[in-house]
Amino acid sequence: MKRKENRNLTGIFRIGLATLVVILQLLFIYFIINILKNYAVYFYALIQIIAVINIFIMVSKSKNTSYIIVWLIIIFILPVFGYFLYLLWGRSDVFGRCIRNNRIRAAIQHGSMYLYKDPEVYAELDQIHPSRKRIAGYLGRKGFPLYKNTTCEYFSLGEYQFEAMIKDIENAERYVFLEYFILDSGELWDRISEVLIRKAEQGVEIRLMFDDFGSIVTAPDNLIKALNSHNIQVLRFNPVHRYISSFCFNCRNHQKITVIDGCVGYTGGTNLADEYANIYPKHGHWKDTAIRLEGDAVWGLTSIFLQMWDAESGGTTDYEAYRSVVNYEGQGFYQPFSDGPSNNPDNPAEVMYRTMIYNAKKYVYISTPYLVIDNSMKEALCTSAQGGTDVRIITPKIWDHWYVHMVTQSNYGELLESGVRIYEYTPGFIHAKTIISDDDHAICGSINMDYRSFYLHFENGVWICGSPVLQDIKNDLQQTFDVCEEISLDEWRRRPWHIKCVQSFLRLFAVFF
């Protein structure tokens, strides 16, 4: 208990320090404005002229109208103060100003040299699934190869994934890579860390990377030191204190990847914490999903991990040292991909979701813990449903963040009016991030249907086409519908007036959630 209290105090202190720096920035802006108040007319006029110019630039460059509208409201309400806030936190190039020497872009470019796009694999996909050629081609042009010779297993709950994953780590001979948003000490981590330490002592290379903000309270320095003492390499991604001045600590690494020997890879919605394995009932029954890849496609996950590792460490990894030389067989096609603010305003995750929704003929089923979407995604869902496609979305009934849940529910109206069917998961909290369409393709990964996943966070997923595992994914979603409460349009309209007011207000600033 004492160790946990110390851990919490350390994390809270770091959060408090980051908050203090942000407050000091706001006070500095106010102080400057107050000094210049004697020249208010000239100063106000100059700032407004500059603001108008920047607004035109923002409108011409940004593809996200919701984001533009929020900043226009802030600048309109706070003409001078709001503009300084925009310069500090709202500019579209904020990410470029955060990462010194474009380190992440350089790491991605270095990793892309080891990603070979086999034209024979694309030709085979075109022959078997001609309607999916454009999707695979899009990801290919973004630098993500298409693979075959891979088997895939689907896990309908996190505890199933972790049992299989621990067994695979037990069998590791060369290396184990783990990358997660949250790492929390507990029963699950005790089991995983015990195996990792034992494998490291046997000479297996272990690399662990977790997001600093996601684990700021749950992963203390003494945990890292203990792992380091066993020759386990550990990195915190984007420490919150590093770029507070530009608010870049909001750009988090939300990816969830485990790779063993380049032969086996895992990804999905889970983190390394007890609630994801239903050991600790944080919000009732925790529904999460993941997939296990074995074969050629694992190289895609390995490359994504190494790109992010090099970006944070500043090193340059020899990728070839981690390539598997085993020959595999398997059915279907697999395309691991990643996503992040370095791609703005054209992020693969958002494009892939929107494309799958628009292209759906029979159905498209989606599970997401958060439904905070802009007009373009909403239009895709509504257009598809109005065209006769069975569009269904599962969101939580029990929420983890009340304000995000408020915005999620506020988005139901237009979707329901267009024929989209919305289900809320009643046994607990659904954290699964899956989309499947027409029995022949799906995405499973770390991607939520919200602004953070599409624009602010680094994410990853696997596009799956023509694989037997698709039936398992569909079956799980259909079984999940049975334990959900379907939301009707009449029910949504009967919300209490005060809930409607709060939701409408929060929705204005949804891009910050």
Question: Are 414 and 448 members of one domain?
Answer: yes
**Domain extent for 262:** 100-334
Question: Are 167 and 205 members of one domain?
Answer: yes
Q: Has residue 62 got a pLDDT over 90? A: no
pLDDT at residue 65, as a whole number: 67
CATH of residue 385 = 3.30.870.10
CA distance 66 to 62: 10
In this predicted model, which residue has the larger pLDDT, 169 or 9? 169
pLDDT at residue 189, as a whole number: 96
pLDDT at residue 40, as a whole number: 58
Which candidate, 182, 169, 439, places its Cα nearest to that of 286? Answer: 182
304 domain residue, yes or no: yes
Write down which residue in 334, 365, 388 finishes a domain. 334
Q: Crossing angle of helices 2-35/221-228, nearest 10°?
A: 120
Q: For 410-460, write each residue's pLDDT tens digit.
A: 999 999 999 999 999 999 999 999 999 999 999 999 999 998 899 889 999
Q: Quick one: average pLDDT of 196-213? A: 95
Question: Are 414 and 376 members of one domain?
Answer: yes
CA distance 46 to 50: 6
Write down which residue in 49, 64, 92 finishes a domain. 92
CA distance 172 to 196: 10
Which candidate, 232, 292, 323, 287, places its Cα nearest to that of 428? Answer: 287
Question: Are 289 and 407 members of one domain?
Answer: no
Q: What is the CA radius of gyration of the chain?
A: 23
Weakest mean pLDDT among 124-133, 220-229, 307-316, 411-420: 220-229
Q: How far is CA 435 from the centre of its chain?
A: 14
Q: Which of 93-97, 246-250, 314-318, 382-386 has the highest mean pLDDT?
A: 382-386
Question: Are 78 and 137 members of one domain?
Answer: no
15 domain residue, yes or no: yes
**Number of helical (H) and strand (E) elements in the chain, helices listed first:** 20, 19
340 domain residue, yes or no: no
285 domain residue, yes or no: yes
CA distance 145 to 140: 5
Write down which residue in 32, 66, 92 finishes a domain. 92
Q: For 274-322, write each residue's pLDDT tens digit.
A: 999 999 888 999 999 999 999 999 999 999 999 999 999 989 999 999 9
pLDDT at residue 220, as a whole number: 74
Q: How far is CA 316 from the centre of its chain?
A: 25
Q: Has residue 127 got a pLDDT over 50? A: yes
The total of structural domains in the chain comes to 3
Cβ atoms of 267 and 256 closer than 8 Å: yes
List Cβ<8 Å contacts ≥24 apart for 120-128. 121/145, 121/146, 121/147, 121/148, 121/333, 122/146, 124/148, 124/333, 125/333, 125/465, 125/466, 128/466
User: Residues near 392 by Cβ (< 8 Å), separated by ≥ 6?
Assistant: 363, 364, 365, 366, 420, 421, 422, 423, 477, 481
Q: How far is CA 496 from CA 68, 415, 426, 493, 508, in A?
A: 30, 20, 21, 9, 19
Q: How far is CA 491 from CA 220, 341, 346, 459, 487, in A?
A: 45, 37, 36, 34, 7
Question: Are 365 and 444 members of one domain?
Answer: yes
173 domain residue, yes or no: yes
Cβ atoms of 182 and 271 closer than 8 Å: yes
User: Residues near 60 by Cβ (< 8 Å), separated by ≥ 6?
Assistant: none
Q: Has residue 345 got a pLDDT over 70? A: no
Question: Are 57 and 120 members of one domain?
Answer: no
133 domain residue, yes or no: yes
Question: Are 26 and 46 members of one domain?
Answer: yes
339 domain residue, yes or no: no
343 domain residue, yes or no: no
Question: Are 255 and 239 members of one domain?
Answer: yes
Q: Has residue 4 got a pLDDT over 50? A: no
User: Residues near 314 by Cβ (< 8 Å), separated by ≥ 6?
Assistant: 103
Question: Are 494 and 380 members of one domain?
Answer: yes
pLDDT at residue 101, as a whole number: 47
Q: Has residue 34 got a pLDDT over 70? A: no
pLDDT at residue 100, as a whole number: 47
pLDDT category, 173, cuts 50, 70, 90? very high
pLDDT category, 84, cuts 50, 70, 90? low
Q: Has residue 215 got a pLDDT over 70? A: yes
Question: Are 84 and 105 members of one domain?
Answer: no
pLDDT at residue 212, as a whole number: 86
3-state secondary structure of 116: coil
pLDDT at residue 137, as a whole number: 97
Question: Are 275 and 136 members of one domain?
Answer: yes
Q: What dihedral do alpha carbons 54, 57, 61, 64 form, nearest 10°?
A: 50
Query: What does DSSP say about strands 441-445 and 459-465: parallel, antiparallel, or unpaired?
Result: antiparallel
